[in-house]
Structure 1
Amino acid sequence: MNFSDLGLSPSLVQAINQANYEAPYPIQVEAIPAILQKRDLLGLAQTGSGKTASYILPILEDLQGIENHRTRSIPILVIVPTRELAAQVEEVVRFFGKHLPRKVKSMAVFGGVSINPQMMNLNGTDILVATPGRLLDLLAKNAITLDRLRTLVLDEADKVLSLGFKLELDEILARLPKKRQNILFSATMDETVEGLIGKLLKNPLKIEIQAEEVTPDLINQTAYLITQEKKGPLLRHLISEGNWQQVLVFASSIRTADNLTTKLNKHGIQAMAFHGDKSQGARMEALKQFKGGKVRVLVATDLAARGIDIQALPYVVNFELPRSPKDYIHRIGRTGRAGMQGEAISLITEEDQHHWKVIQKKMKRWVEMVDALNIDF
């Protein structure tokens, strides 16, 4: 099945094709038509199942049918548990939406940073991706209104509740118009999630995607325990001392990818960034330069990296860990192809160690850890 079979317009399918999505994931096959039909939806799926695109794509399609606005009334609200997920979801919106005829304005808002720049930029926002606390802050300051909300998405509902946001969530839901579409995703089901489902959803379509068991190919994997500040120097040391000539580095955000690319070039290591803020032409040129050996390092985000297919890639580096074990397998699987030895290196901070254990447990393989905390590079 193709994305064009799911009820998406040619302009959106074109954006999907430019993102190198070959075929929809199972959750997308079921969710996209239902969301386009304005049904409520319950999705039980792990991170890495394709759930973000399963709701972003039909929402972008829906917005093509309404006029741009210059108000602070938000038509689409996506609630997420963490600032990292907020940034990633908003990146998906921009990645798929930038070629559409009707321009879509999106914003990610979260705490831990000044609220004033966020407030100044909210006018005309179509899709607001927000953590519960910062959303309530904005509502309290009358920076936005939700009286004309068309669609509510609650992503990773189990994590929202486990982080103690139940009271905040109840307050937000009380402010929403009764007539709206509701979409809820959760990786797990417990009593609190079931209670939220009963309160939030009306006759929803239920989609349940079982997590896949994944086993990596025989790739030589190594992890380095390192501080965040020393990640860059360690990466440059590994590339220079090992004389690595073709290195695919994964970063979790566009900002990190750009900053890392700049620093590598400043230190004489030719690098180019490959992410959703680059035009299709720029991404194709970066890939061409990388494959041709003219660029030593390609720094990519997961979203854009679907279009990278290099048969004899020798090195993959996880500068930052992905959010799911499935994405980790997808990353390191870019090396070790065509009967050639591949190296996969992960830079792990102390804060990453729990998540790193989850990844190793999922792939049923323990990776040698090199303690680099006290080494100067």
Structure 2
Amino acid sequence: MPFSSLGLSKPLVKAVAAQSYTKPYPIQQEAIPAILQGRDILGIAQTGSGKTASFVLPILELFQRKPAARNRFVKALVLVPTRELAVQVADVFQVFSAKLPRPVKTLAVYGGVSINPQMMGLRDVEIVVATPGRLLDLMSANALQLSDVDILVLDEADKMLDLGFEEEMERIFDRLPRNRQTILFSATLGDAIQDINASLLRNPVKIEVVEEEQNLDLIKQIAYRVDAERKGPLLRYLIKSGQMKQVLVFVSSTRSADNVVVKLTKNGIQAAAIHSGRTQGARTDALTKFKAGKLAVLVATDLISRGIDIQLLPHVINFELPRSPKDYIHRIGRTGRAEAEGEAISLICPEDEHHFKIIQKKMGKRVEIIETAELDLMGY
């Protein structure tokens, strides 16, 4: 089933194709048409199931049919539990809306940073992706209004409840108009989620995605323990000493991607970054060269990597660990395909070790960690 059969307009289908998305995930097949019909959604889905695009695409489609919002009166609100997810979701909105006939401005707002730039950035914003606490701060400062919100999305609602945001969420719900569309996604369907369902959703379409188990038997997994300041030289050492001709390197942010590429290039390794900050032409060019074997290293963020599908990719390196075990499995699953063996390497700093233990436990596989303190990285 192609994206064009889900009710999306040609410009949006074209935007999807530009990101190398070939066919919708199961959750997208069910959620996109239902959201376009104005239905409330109760979705049970893990990270990595394609749920972000399943609400981003229809929201952007619906906004193509609506007049622009009044200044500081947002039309869509996406609540998320963490800063990292806020940035990631906003990136998805920005990637898919970049060349639509009617531009739609999106902003991520979250705590831990100065509120003033976010207050100034809210001008003409129609979609806000927010953590609950920072959203309440902005509301208290009259920096934005929720009275015109047409669509509310609760992404990873169970995590918001686990992190103690229940009171903040209730205060936000009280400020929202009753006549709206509500979309709720959660990894689990516990009592608290059932309560939210009963109080907020109107006859929702229930979508539950059962994840297929990733076969990791063909993937050789190795980890290297390394201090943060030696991580860059170790990456270059592994690529050069292993004579890697095609390696996909994963990082957690666009800034990291650009920094890694600069250092690789300075050390004579052909590399390019692929992330939402690059132009579509630059991303397409880098991916084409990488697939053709004309580029040794492609450095990617998780968002853009969804569109990378190479049957015989020999090496994946986690320069930085992902935030969830599911993302880790999706990353290393880029290699070891089509019955061909692959190698997945992770660089583990001391502060990563606890998280890496959780990843191994969730994955059900133990990964050998090799010490690198005595390794001579001079010249790399």
Whether TM exceeds 0.5 here: the answer is yes
Q: Which amino acid aligns with 1:163?
A: L
Deviation, 1:68, is 2.8
Q: Which residue of 2 aligns with 1:297?
A: 297
Q: Which moved more, 1:195-204 or 1:38-47?
A: 195-204
Code of the aligned partner of 1:220? K
Displacement after TM superposition at 1:21 (Å): 1.4
Unpaired segments ≥5 residues, structure 2:
none
| 2:67 matches 1:62 | no
1:99-110 map, 5 Å: 99-110=99-110
Q: SS at 2:302's partner residue?
A: coil
Cα contact 2:214–2:333 (8 A) shared by 1: no
The corresponding residue for 1:22 is: 22
Cα drift, residue 147 of structure 1: 0.9
1:79 corresponds to which letter in structure 2? L
1:192-271 matches, cutoff 5 A: 192-271=192-271
Structure 1 position 291, deviation (Å) = 4.0
Counterpart position of 1:139: 139
Structure 1 position 276, deviation (Å)? 2.8
**3-state SS in 2 of match to 1:185:** strand
In the TM superposition, what is the alpha-carbon distance from 1:176 to its structure 2 partner? 1.0
- Secondary structure class of the residue paired with 1:303: helix
What is the distance in 2 between the residues matched to 1:54 and 1:111?
Answer: 26
Q: Tell me if structure 2 keeps the 8 A contact 1:215–1:363.
A: no
Matched with 1:365 is 365
Counterpart of 2:166? 166
Query: How many Å separate the matches in 2 of 1:185 and 1:336?
Result: 31
SS of the residue aligned with 2:89? helix
What is the Cα deviation at residue 339 of structure 1? 6.3
Is the 1:213–1:362 contact (alpha carbons within 8 Å) kept by the matching residues of 2?
no
> Which structure 2 residues correspond to residues 278-293 of structure 1 after superposition, within 5 A?
278-293=278-293
Give the 3 Å change call, closer, same or farther, for CA 323–201 of structure 1 in structure 2.
same
Q: Which piece of structure 1 moves more, 269-278 or 47-56?
A: 269-278
TM-score (norm 2): 0.92
Q: Specify the code of the residue in structure 1 equivalent to 2:190.
A: D
Once the 2 structures are TM-superposed, how far is the Cα of residue 77 of structure 1 from its aligned partner?
0.6
CA RMSD, Structure 1 to Structure 2 (Å): 2.2
What is the alpha-carbon distance in structure 1 between the residues aligned to residue 41 and residue 56 of structure 2?
Answer: 13
- Judge conservation of contact 1:214–1:362 (CA < 8 Å) in 2: no
1:228 to 1:57, Cα distance in 2 relative to 1, 3 A: farther
Which deviates the most, 209-218 or 51-60? 209-218
Report how far residue 350 of structure 1 moved: 4.2
Shift of 1:340: 5.4
> Which range is displaced more, 177-186 or 326-335?
326-335
Aligned-partner Cα distance in 1 for 2:63–2:228: 39
**1:164 counterpart letter in structure 2:** G
Aligned residue pair count: 377
State whether residues 105 and 125 of structure 1, in contact with CA within 8 Å, keep that contact through their aligned partners in structure 2. Answer: yes
> How far has the Cα of 1:160 moved from its partner?
0.1
Distance in 2 (alpha carbons) for counterparts of 1:109 and 1:9: 29
Q: Unpaired runs of 5+ in structure 1?
A: none
CA distance in 2, matches of 1:31, 1:161: 23
Tell me which amino acid in the other structure corresponds to 1:126.
Answer: E
State the alpha-carbon separation in 2 of the partners of residues 339 and 30 from structure 1: 31
Question: Aligned pair in 2 of structure 1 residues 23, 288: CA closer, same or farther (>3 Å)?
Answer: closer
**What residue identity is the alignment partner of 2:255?**
R
Q: Secondary structure at the match of 1:67?
A: coil
Identity %: 60
| Structure 1 segment 2-41 matched on structure 2, within 5 A | 2-41=2-41
Partner deviation per Cα, 1:289-338 (whole Å, 9 max, x = no partner)? 33455433211123322443444433211122234444433332333456
Distance change >3 Å, CA 353–CA 189, structure 1 → 2: farther
Q: Report the Cα offset of residue 119 of structure 1.
A: 1.0
- Structure 2 distance, partners of 1:310, 1:188, is 32
